[in-house]
A and B are shown apart, each in its own frame.
Chain A
Amino acid sequence: MSEPSLYKDRVRVYPRAVRGPARTFKWVVLAFCLTLYYALPWVRWTRGPGQPSQAVLLDIGHERFYFFDLEFWPQDIYYLTGALILGAVSLFLVTSLVGRAWCAYACPQTVWTDLFMLIERIVQGDRNERMRRDQGKTTLDKVWRKVVTHVAWLGIAFWTGGAWIMYYADAPTVTRDFWQGNAASQAYIFTFLFTASTYVLAGWAREQVCTYMCPWPRFQASMLDEHSLIVTYEGWRGEPRGHGKRTPEVVRKLGDCIDCRACVNVCPTGIDIRDGIQLECINCGLCIDACNEIMVKTGQPKWLVRWDTLAHQQARAAGKHDPFHLLRPRTLIYVTALVIGFVIMGVAMANRAQIDIAVQHDRAPLFVTVRDGSLRNGYTVKISNKTHEATDFAIGLKGLDGAAMAVAEEGEGRMPVLTLTVEPDSVGTYRVLVFGRPTKLIDGAQDLIFSARNTRSGETTSYTSVFMGPGARASR
């Protein structure tokens, strides 16, 4: 067993508390994200009688997704695709402009890890105290602090898991049912699942998730270039690093970095930013706050660690000035893709139909000859009424001379136009019989266009089906 292990031993990270603009910004984003997540299901929205009153609701049982005034049906799944594409391109654009802003502030893994670290710090003290206690003997003091920490973590994790299910059912109802033991089994399963994953990922796994589990750090490098904003260490100014008060003699020998390791101690992923840009670095900038604190104390210029671009740093190291390059082919392509995506989505959303018709030709029999010698085909007609009122739809036919229709259950009687009623916010299914004498049959079939018109709004749509006669094959 002398082979080297393929796995690096985990070095526990004990981040130190820090103050500064980056830390403040991180708190603000954290508070915003958590408030949004926990409170959003409780936001009420008036939609009218019989409709859910929750602003954001993914109602899987009834196959509806409500987002404020928007209501999506399963057929609208491509809007989700569009939203995901826009989200991805936005992420690419943000990354190429300002680096890993997502990882640093908004990613749920970052947000919940930060929250859990805050609790750890409140209960167990800051970095040095935690390290000392962890290395020391098991005392009552150590035990109760650990227990309180984990109970608090589990409480937050449970709250997080509980909030998750509220997006899938009416929040007040599901909360009451949950505690009364009447909620659906999925509610308990998913609450448990998200409680467990929150506790494990934010309490235990932390930076391991970013370094080993998440694919994003692995390929986000392809969005970055020398003009992207990243957290940099001004090596040309700081090196050679060394301890000691910066007297004129010392300044001749040493750079500005006094090698206090403040930047390392505050890092939530436990890296040394002075080694340059790294996979583990989430660009949160806490090291910037830490270094600035020290630089102020030692009376040196701030921003030895700073947000900057690699090109900028190189220019500054050489004593030159280099402006920021926001407009680069990479960013322009992302912006173009974003604009196109938003325009397509916007137009599609604005013209979203409130009506839909789908027609399925009967597979058996393909056609029937009736007494007067004409042919009859059977269809299953589904009309989607996305409005919130019961609506009459006028169904017409095109493409078949002398065509007439009847609803199968209603027996005899043929009409050129059928009026079918569909309940609000639902799909009406009718079996419709079409009679006709087809004259343009090719291989026993010809096109038949069903049109549907909302008799109140006048909105129309159509569906091209087929009318079959002698010679038809079931395989078409």
Chain B
Amino acid sequence: MPTKIEKDAFSGRDTTGHEWDGLKELNNPLPSWWFWTFVATVVWSIGFCIVYPSVPGISGYFGGIWGYSTRDAVTADVAALAAQRAQVLDKIKDVPIEKVRQDPTLMAVANTAGRIAFANNCQPCHGAGGEGRPGYPVLASDRWIWGGKLADLQQTITFGIRSGHAEARQSQMLRFGVDGVLKPEEIASAADYVMTLYGKAQPSPAAAKGQAIFAENCVACHGDSGEGKREVGGPSLKGAVHLYGDTREAVIAQITNPRMGVMPNWNARLDAATIKALALYVHALGGGEN
């Protein structure tokens, strides 16, 4: 309790009247500008609490008389961004994809939109530059399972592969080993033959035996000489690029218990113009067919 306010002889200031073991406290009040600024902020905060969301309740909160919400602000921003992008994308929306490709101005739009859409949607599986990963097809090379023409790419991106969509790219390889269609030694021979198709193995008696097995089981989808059949989604077995690896173990594993990748139907998430831009962008990654 303040006892006695007195004047300090040395500094000429009043004391607060507090005293501890002979030590007295000088009264040095806050500068008035500081004090009034503080008061002003308190006054300001009252107004703030009235117009903006502030007081929490049991099952909600007082939303403020301006009804502001950060969630609404984000939604509006996202919608505005979509509208802004639409202005650009509208330019290619109704133009046939081949026409877009021949027009440098439209192609610049498609490249920009495609690059962004690719980074946002495709990159996790296909890599930043379309280089692919083991099990995920490379898009920058010239090897295509379902076709590398613009229309093929547009179709694949729109409906996906084994996506469950009615128009999805659909193909299925028999589980030759797991389901007991072929014996393990037959599978090994078939693998020896398949490896000769892309020059990784030399013709041998085992490969010759495998050729017979191949002719009986594989040509329906992979073609008479393993050149592939795009219309049924049978990948080419020739060439240097292999989705699931080109070693003997990889080929045996694929015949025994095939892996079959899935790509979603992007029409569920992207609009047609963005998909068109994506097809053009992927086509220009380096492997596009004419």
Binding site for B on A (CB under 8 A): 362-366, 368-373, 376, 378, 408-409, 411-412, 431, 433
Contact = CB atoms under 8 A, between A and B. Distances in A.
Contacts, number: 65
B27 to A, nearest CB: 29
Contacts of A368: 131, 138, 140-141, 286-287
Nearest to A373: B240
A365 B290 CA distance: 22
B240 A372 contact: yes
Contacts of B107: 409
B143 A370 contact: yes
Contact of A362 (B129, B239, B241, B287): B129
B148 to A, nearest CB: 9
Interface of B: 101, 107, 127-131, 138, 140-143, 199, 236, 238-241, 283-290
A409 B240 contact: no
Nearest to A374: B240
Most buried by A among B130, B236, B241, B283: B241
B289 A412 contact: yes
A371 B140 contact: no
A342 to B, nearest CB: 45
B141 A376 contact: yes
A66 to B, nearest CB: 28
B281 to A, nearest CB: 10
Most buried by A among B199, B238, B240: B240
**Interface of B: prevailing SS:** loop
B289 to A, nearest CB: 6
Most buried by A among B101, B142, B283, B290: B142
10 contacts: A364-B129, A365-B130, A368-B138, A368-B141, A369-B141, A369-B240, A371-B236, A372-B239, A376-B286, A408-B285
Contacts of A376: 140-141, 286
Contacts of B236: 371
A371 B141 contact: yes
Given A368-B287, A371-B141, A431-B284, 20 more contacts: A363-B129, A364-B127, A365-B140, A368-B138, A369-B138, A369-B141, A370-B240, A370-B241, A371-B143, A371-B241, A372-B239, A372-B240, A376-B141, A376-B286, A378-B140, A408-B285, A411-B283, A411-B290, A412-B142, A412-B290
B200 to A, nearest CB: 10
Contacts of B101: 409
Nearest to B123: A364
Given A368-B131, A368-B138, A371-B143, A408 B284 contact: yes
A373 B141 CA distance: 11
A431 B130 CA distance: 15
Contacts of B140: 365, 368, 376, 378
A378 to B, nearest CB: 6
Given A371-B241, A412-B290, A365 B127 contact: yes
A266 B155 CA distance: 89
Nearest to A364: B129
B286 A378 contact: yes
B131 A364 contact: yes
A265 to B, nearest CB: 51
B289 A411 contact: yes
Contacts of A365: 127-131, 138, 140
Contact of A370 (B129, B131, B142, B283): B142
Contacts of B143: 370-371
A436 to B, nearest CB: 14
B100 to A, nearest CB: 11
B219 to A, nearest CB: 20
B286 A409 contact: no
Nearest to A377: B286
B239 A371 contact: yes
Nearest to A365: B131
Q: Which 7 A-B pairs have the closest CB atoms?
A: A365-B131, A364-B129, A371-B239, A373-B240, A364-B128, A365-B129, A411-B290
Nearest to A363: B129
A408 B286 contact: yes
Contacts of B284: 408-409, 431
A364 to B, nearest CB: 3
B172 to A, nearest CB: 24
A369 B283 CA distance: 16
A372 B238 CA distance: 9
A212 B115 CA distance: 56
A376 B138 CA distance: 13
B286 to A, nearest CB: 5
B125 to A, nearest CB: 14
A369 B141 CA distance: 7
A452 to B, nearest CB: 21
A23 B141 CA distance: 79
Nearest to B238: A371
A216 to B, nearest CB: 45
Contacts of B287: 368, 370
Contacts of B129: 362-365, 378
